[in-house]
Amino acid sequence: MTSSGTVLVVNSGSSSIKYQLVDPVLGDAVASGLVERIGEETGAIRHTFGDVKVERDEPVPDHGAGLRAVLALFGEVGPHLEDANVIAVGHRVVQGGDQFSGPVLVDADVVRKIDELSPLAPLHNPPNLAGIRVARELLPDVPHVAVFDTAFFHTLPDAAATYAIDRDVAREHKVRRYGAHGTSHHFVSRETARVLGRRVEDVNQIVLHLGNGASASAIRGGVAVDTSMGLTPLEGLVMGTRSGDIDPAVLIHLQRNAGLSVDDVDDLLNRRSGLKGLAGENDLRNVHALADDGNADARLALDVYAHRLKKYIGAYHAVLGRLDAITFTAGVGENDDIVRAMACAGLEALGIAVDPHRNAGRKKEPTIISPDWTSTVVLVVPTNEELAIARQAVEVAEAAGLPGTSDESDPAPASAGHA
Ligand code: AMP
């Protein structure tokens, strides 16, 4: 990376816009903020630049108004975007389907394809696209790059990506496993290799991204070979409000016998399940507090959460054969030593263990938490999706030879990530 300048990273959700102005070389967030409750009666905007934090409660009718307010805050509070030398805008896009295997420079064709993929991610792609459209209007002179959550999992072998259902139905409706959280799994797998002092090509690893959403991946030599999220981010691990793996017959049963509609089932599995469904709380800190008070539901919730994690560790150990590293990341993975210990408990025969002293406490830096004797190193590596998006955005802009990103780079196809 040869650029000097900053990247504006935009994560545009259905009712929110998260943003960060990132220095991709130093890895620092220069400024950051959040627009919340877009389209509701009372909206809110928070902007942080250095020690200055500004909070405003005002209605934000749509994404355009939200982004305009953010740009105005950059002008008022700083940093001034002209002085910050913004060399690219990186947009998080959840679903790239079979169309995108890497980040791409946004043009009309890319906008159309993201739009066409909306049926696969109805809650995510439309707001992602709204952010892209508005940002391109407001910042027309800067390259905009779309970075897809699914792209890192484009390499999944067919055996891991295919659901065992009627192949014609699957083909017609693009039903396969796409994965999600790919930007984080990619970033953390590279960081893990760096911490181990090895080339990523030489490391077989499991990455456990445990946030409010949670996913596991099996990565052989830097290439993803399996992941726990599927057609949508509902499959796999137990999450804050999502069930993860479930017998599909449960859905049929509830629709036939409990009078639940398709929307009811969607709501149940995505918003009223996981830790929330089991313990009434989606934040693990609150689940621990309840469990410490003797709440049996909360204790069971922790056991179910850790049991699912352990099953995935065992499964991905088998998928990979040799396992060099297991890395915990995101809100739970970085902060919750109890969950880390529970997930790895009793796996000594597989060469996996956690050292209680090394594991203790929250980890702000990459930390090895296994004892020295294990064949698999267990680590905590903080994720940084914004930095990963910023770096990918610069790489795409540089490859396209866009002004401001590099002195030497030759013009090259900008949409190398199209599948
Ligand atoms: P993320 O989606 O990566 O921001 O992670 C958010 C989740 O991390 C929260 O819902 C909590 O469950 C969890 N979390 C954050 N801090 C802690 C902590 N100190 N201990 C346990 N869990 C935490």
Catalytic residues: 149
* pLDDT tens column, 105-137: 999 999 999 999 998 888 889 999 999 999 999
Q: Which of 125, 123, 127 is nearest to 95 (CA)?
A: 125
Q: Where do the H-state alpha helices sit in 197-261? A: 248-257
Q: Which residue has the higher pLDDT, 368 or 1?
A: 368
Q: Whose CA is nearest to atom 4 of ligand 1?
A: 331
Q: Is the pLDDT of residue 236 over 90?
A: yes
Phi, psi for 350 (deg, rounded to 5): -90, 5
Expressed in angstroms and rounded, the spacing between residue 240 Cα and the centre of ligand 1 is 9
Which residues neighbour 194 within 8 Å (Cβ) at sequence distance 6 or greater? none
- One-letter amino acid of 362: R
Q: Looking at this protein, which amino acid is placed at residue 44?
A: A
Give the whole-number percent of the chain exceeding pLDDT 90. Answer: 89
Q: The CATH number of the domain where 141 resides is what?
A: 3.30.420.40
Residue 409 has pLDDT above 90, yes or no: no
Within 8 A by CB and 6+ apart from 359, the residues are: 337, 340, 341, 369
| CB atoms closer than 10 angstroms to residue 292 | 10
Residues 99 and 212 in one domain: no
Statement to judge: residues 296 and 364 lie in one domain = yes
Domain of residue 283 covers: 182-380
Q: And the tokens for 109?
A: 């064709």
**Confidence at 410, pLDDT banded by 50, 70, 90:** very low
Provide the β-strand partners of residue 34: 18, 46
Q: Is 125 annotated as a binding residue?
A: no
Ligand 1 atom nearest to 213, measured from its CA: 2
Q: How far is the CA of 334 from the centre of ligand 1 (A)?
A: 8
* pLDDT of the residue at 13: 86
Q: Is residue 163 part of a domain?
A: no
Q: Is 284 in the pocket of ligand 1 (CB under 6 A)?
A: yes
* Cβ of residue 188 lying under 6 Å from some atom of ligand 1: no
Query: Does residue 294 share a domain with residue 210?
Result: yes
Q: Model confidence over 295-306: pLDDT tens digits? A: 999 999 999 999
Using DSSP bridges, classify how beta strands 367-368 and 377-380 pair: parallel, antiparallel or unpaired: antiparallel
Query: Which two structure tokens, joined as six digits, stand for 303?
Result: 């056991």
Tell whether residue 257 is among the known ligand binding residues.
Answer: no
What DSSP character marks residue 244?
-
What's residue 1's pLDDT?
59
Give the pLDDT of residue 3: 56
Q: Which of 271, 285, 292 for a ligand 1 pocket mutation test, highest count of atoms within 8 Å of Cβ?
A: 285
CA distance 260 to 32: 41
Is this model's pTM higher than 0.85 or not? Answer: yes
Q: Is residue 41 part of a domain?
A: yes
Domain assignment of residue 194, yes or no? yes
239 close to 194: Cβ distance less than 8 angstroms: no
The structural domain count of the chain equals 2
pLDDT at 402 over 90: no
How many Å apart are CA 52 and CA 71, to the nearest integer?
16
192 with 301, same domain: the answer is yes
**Of 148, 171, 197, the domain-final residue:** 148
Same domain flag for 118 and 227: no
